Amino acid sequence: MTQTDHAGHIVSDADFRLFQRLFDDSIGLNLTSHKKLLLSGRLGKRVAKLGLSGFHEYYQHLASGKDPEEFQLAIDLITTHETFFFRENHHFHLLRDKIAPEAPSGRNLRVWSAACSTGEEAWSIAMVLRHVLGVTGWTLVASDVSRSVVVKAARGLYAMDRISGIPPEYLKAYCLKGQKEYEGMLLVERSLRDMVDFHTVNLLEIPPEFKEFDVVFLRNVIIYFDAPTKERVLRSVCQTIRPDGWLLLGHSESLAGMDLPLRQIRPSVYRRTN
């Protein structure tokens, strides 16, 4: 295999199994067989860029642990980041109409966007909390396993064609229209950006300071885990939620067959039991 054909070459079945195990062990990502073409295209470019002989040598490079920057880049390339503002809007209605108005007195309502991707979910949450609670009374932490999307999320800068889900009153109150070199862009306004803390977090290794959340958004991420990893992650996430706190999942995600300290309120909406 020549260096010029890596990007168009398909990883072998044996090497694909090595990458499957590597990403499963490191971040819990379940790379199913239909992702073989995606992996070949995205990681093949890195094989060529580094001048390696092929995918097997690239796997060895990643697995050695000697180049954490490259490993993070591989994670960024192989994970999917498809999202939009106010996705699955019923969760934001629940936050606006029940959870935030019933926020505990005497302390902040603590919320975690646990798979924030490029930030649209986190900013949607922040707009609702600011609208209902004002500038105090809440804290919002947002995280993702991909460092590059966390950096993008924290900027709060988006193309105008991605903002159709934002309610007009929020758009007017919390967003700025780009001018000059930012023509055609939208920027989340500065005071709101200052209220959200972004972090790179692997859900298999949740930091000990992530605790006592009243609400956790864990949406459209556990579908990428196999069953044992899914339950392991959910158990860890449950430990970060206060008794009677809320866990919100994606509408296509199920907890069937899992013994977790949760009671279902409605599809995709759960509360932590004592």
Residue of 269, 273, 274 lying closest to 99 (CA atoms): 269
Does residue 163 contact residue 130 with C-beta atoms inside 8 Å? no
15 a catalytic residue: no
Q: Which of 15, 76, 144, 214 is catalytic?
A: 144
Q: Which of 24, 42, 96, 147 is catalytic?
A: 42
- What tokens were used for 171? 């758009």
147 a catalytic residue: no
Please, which contacts does 29-34 make with residues 24 or more away whose CB atoms are closer than 8 Å?
29/78, 29/79, 29/224, 29/225, 30/224, 30/225, 30/226, 30/229, 31/78
8-state DSSP, 96: I
Residues 268, 221: Cα–Cα separation, whole Å: 13
Residue of 216, 211, 210 lying closest to 245 (CA atoms): 216
Active site members: 42, 144
